Structures are given as C-alpha cells and as structure tokens.
Amino acid sequence: MTDRHVVDVDGISLSYRASWVPEPRAVVLALHGGATSSTYFDCPDHPRLSLLHTGAALGFSVLALDRPGYGASHERADQLTDPARRVDLAYAALDRLLAQRPCGAGVFLMAHSAGSELGVRMAADARGHDLLGLEIAGTGRHHHPRSLNFLEFGAEDDLRRSGRARARLREVLWGPAHLYPPEVAGGATIAAASPAYESAARQWRYELPELAARVRVPVQYSLGDHEEVWSSGPEALADVAALFTAAPRVRVNEQPDSGHNLSLGYSARAYHLKVLSFAEECAVARDNACAQAREGRAG
C-alpha cells in the first residue's frame, strides 16, 4: 500500500495517496466515498486490486485525494460545509500537485459513491470543461427498493443505533460477502471518520439533474450487478445516463460480480481496467482534437 502525503491549500491540509509515473498517458484523480479515505483506491495487502498499482502499470499517474473533511482536513471539516469551497479546494490541490509534474493528455476524474457529489460538481464547474472525462460509480437517483425504508430521508442515522440495522447496512454496503477478500469485507481496514457535513451532502442527488446537464466531457456511469444501495439494472443505468445531456458521449457499465464497493472486490482489477480503458479513449479524443486544431491553424 502506498504512503499518505499532505499538501497545504489555502491553510487547509489535504492528504492523498499517489502513484506518479515519469511520462503519464494522463492523470486519474480518484475521489473516495463515505466513511473511508484514499485507501479505498489502494486495497490493503492486495496490490492486484489497487487502482494506484494498476494505473501506474498502464502508464497513468493516479492521485487518490482524501476529500475535503476527510483525513488530514477532518478537524477543519466545520469550515468545509459549502460545496463550492470543497470544489475549489480539490481543484487547488490538483493544481498544486501537478504544477511541477507532467499530466500527459490531461486529467480524468473518477468518483465513487458519496464522492460522486464532489466529482459531478467539479465536472459541472467551468474548470471541469478541461477534464478528459468523468467516471462515477456506486451512486444514483433512487435507493434500491430493498433498502429504501432505512436509506431514504436520512433514516439510516437513527437506525444505525440498533444491531439489526447495523447488520443490514453492512449487508447492503458489503454484500454479498463472497465478492470481497475476507479481510477487506466490512471495511475495517479502510474506515475513516466522516465529516458532519456528509449527512446533508447526501441530498445532492436532488441536484443531480441540473449538475449533470452542465457536464461537457465524456461520462461513464458504473454500478455493480449486485448493487443494493442504489437502484440498479439497465433502466437505472439509463435513467442516470440520460441526465448528462451536454456530454459528447455517455457510457453505462454494469460491472459483473461486483457489489457497491467496486474498487475493493475480487473484480476490482476488471473494473479498473474498464475505467482506464475509457480514460484512454478520452485521451485519444483529446489528442485528435488537438491535432485537428493544429492542422486548422496551419491551413
């Protein structure tokens, strides 16, 4: 597992893990979900399942950022309740870390679960128009019918207090258990304290239609075929994909043999290869656009 580092941005310390390569094809900025950290993308004791290892092996630099309010910035989370502030901090950290490093064709943004809130906001921002593309996963517009009663309207916070509810929540987030290495299932090795703002931020899905319509880069939307936090299946995938009306291309991916935590299961490498393949396609499109622009200027 890679070491955690810290970058200072506007007086806020943001922690991250990274695998830098000398001449990257592109840079993947990865944003973790709730109650975890950048460790999510660097599966403990399983380098084959690590996005950081797989990305570097294929020539991509991977920057897994602890989202503002997590990791080194957790104690400052009360200053980070404004979503626009979190977007600014993430972009500032990216700029700082890439200032003296090559970024190849550009930056591809990847986000999981609650991290999709920050990811979509970043892509919808004017600065997001320069991204190569966007991958969001483990998120959606509607909770899964089997989980609806305790996931809707913030009810999970009350139900966490009962052992039965905690067991059900663990089942939803980590089931079926056979999809994950035993020492990873349950999340003890990747757990991190969540900032207080995260509960309110969950309501961002009601903003998703408006935000998605402002995204102008290629998008891939992924769900595991065993997803139970969010509605899944072809109709649910198509429902979210249809929101990205300004994106030049939108692809959906139902990842086989995968639960909610796509980057930690036995199928994580297959999922990461699919994401990196999409990032490569976005890089090729950027290369071609730049070549056509040069030809136009020459003509």
Per-residue pLDDT tens digits for 16-37: 999 999 999 999 999 999 999 9
* Better-predicted residue by pLDDT, 168 or 259: 259
- Helix (H) or strand (E) segment spanning residue 115: helix 115-124
Determine the 3-state secondary structure of 80 from DSSP: coil
- The radius of gyration of the chain's CA atoms, rounded to the nearest angstrom, is 18
Q: How many helices and strands, by DSSP H and E, does the chain display? A: 10, 8
What's the pLDDT at 151? 72
226 pLDDT exceeds 80? yes
**What band does 150 get if pLDDT is binned at 50, 70 and 90?**
low
Query: What's the CA gap between 191 and 41, in Å, rounded?
Result: 12
What's the pLDDT at 159? 44
Mean pLDDT of 69-77: 98
Query: What's the CA gap between 125 and 222, in Å, rounded?
Result: 22
Lowest mean pLDDT among 109-118, 143-152, 280-289: 143-152
**What band does 168 get if pLDDT is binned at 50, 70 and 90?**
confident
What's the pLDDT at 211? 98
What's the pLDDT at 38? 98
Query: Exposed, middle or buried by CB within 10 Å (0-12, 13-18, 19+), for 240?
Result: buried
Question: Over pLDDT 90: what percentage of the chain?
Answer: 86
What's the pLDDT at 297? 82
Closest CA to 102 of 61, 72, 153, 67: 61
101 pLDDT exceeds 50? yes
Mean pLDDT of 38-58: 98
Mean pLDDT of 208-230: 98
**What residue ranges in the chain does DSSP mark as E strands?**
5-9, 12-19, 27-31, 61-65, 107-112, 133-137, 219-224, 250-255
**What band does 194 get if pLDDT is binned at 50, 70 and 90?**
very high
What's the pLDDT at 269? 98
Mean pLDDT of 188-196: 95
Looking at residue 62, which CATH number applies to its domain? Answer: 3.40.50.1820
**What band does 166 get if pLDDT is binned at 50, 70 and 90?**
confident
Note the pLDDT tens digit of each residue in 241-282. 999 999 999 999 999 999 999 999 999 999 999 999 999 999
Mean pLDDT of 173-199: 94
* Better-predicted residue by pLDDT, 294 or 80: 80
**What band does 169 get if pLDDT is binned at 50, 70 and 90?**
confident
Question: Over pLDDT 70: what percentage of the chain?
Answer: 94
Number of domains in the chain: 1
User: Which domain covers residue 215, as residue numbers?
Assistant: 5-298
Cα atoms found within 13 Å of the Cα of residue 43, Cβ hemisphere only: 25
154 pLDDT exceeds 50? no
Task: Report whether 210 contacts 123 (CB < 8 A).
Answer: no
Mean pLDDT of 46-51: 98
What's the pLDDT at 299? 66
Closest CA to 238 of 140, 110, 109, 172: 140
